[in-house]
């Protein structure tokens, strides 16, 4: 049986296909930089198809938001999305236009929920990053 290394190396199927990574986050992840996965060097992130799908509303008293960003070289935890609203069941696209096109190295994508006010007792969402690897050579 093969060892599961999903999420620890960048995925590139060497085919002309859209790739994706996804990760569930919950209210219990508040303030934690959660690793969504890795994308390969040279990838293009597809902004309108990427973001967060909220399935259970986050219910902290004052603020329920999410940042999505990158590690590996630039350590910018809100490079792709800043303060995406988690208070409504919805699909919310990435909102940052900078930095989403070409990575110069395999890059770790992270999501950080920031919930404030009365402690949340509910909330679940899927962070989804769609990308096209640089494999046309």
Q: Extract the tokens encoding 61.
A: 């008293």
Provide the 8-state DSSP code for 93: E
Residue 47 DSSP SS3: helix
Q: Does residue 73 have a pLDDT over 70?
A: no
CATH number belonging to domain 19-132: 2.60.120
- Asked if 65 and 120 touch (Cβ cutoff 8 Å), the reply is no
Predicted confidence at residue 134, as pLDDT, reads: 85
Residue 119 belongs to what H/E stretch? none
Q: Does residue 5 have a pLDDT over 50?
A: no
CA 6 to chain centre: 15
C-alpha–C-alpha distance, residues 129 and 38, integer Å: 10
Compute the mean pLDDT over every residue in the chain, rounded to the nearest whole number: 87
- Asked if 24 and 113 touch (Cβ cutoff 8 Å), the reply is no
Quick: pLDDT tens for 75-119: 778 888 999 999 999 999 999 866 566 668 888 999 999 999 999
Quick: pLDDT tens for 42-51: 888 998 899 9
Predicted confidence at residue 2, as pLDDT, reads: 40
Give the residue from 56, 47, 60 showing the smallest Cα distance to 88: 56
Beta bridge partners of 127: 23, 52
Among the residue ranges 34-38, 67-71, 94-98, 107-111, the one predicted with the least confidence is 94-98
Q: What is the pTM of this model?
A: 0.86
Predicted confidence at residue 56, as pLDDT, reads: 98
Task: Map out the domains of the chain as residue ranges.
Answer: 19-132
């Amino acid at each position: 049986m093969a060892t599961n290394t999903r999420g620890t190396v960048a995925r590139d199927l060497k085919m002309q296909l859209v790739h994706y990574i996804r990760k569930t986050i919950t209210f219990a992840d508040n303030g934690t930089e959660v690793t969504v996965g890795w994308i390969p060097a040279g990838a293009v992130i597809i902004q309108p198809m990427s973001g967060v799908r909220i399935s259970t509303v986050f219910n902290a008293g004052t603020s329920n938001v999410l940042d999505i960003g990158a590690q590996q070289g630039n350590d910018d935890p809100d490079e792709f999305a800043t303060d995406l609203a988690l208070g409504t069941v919805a699909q919310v696209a990435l909102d940052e236009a900078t930095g989403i096109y070409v990575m110069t190295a395999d890059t770790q994508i992270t999501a950080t929920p920031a919930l404030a006010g009365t402690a949340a007792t509910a909330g679940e969402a899927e962070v989804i990053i769609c990308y096209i690897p640089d494999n046309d050579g």
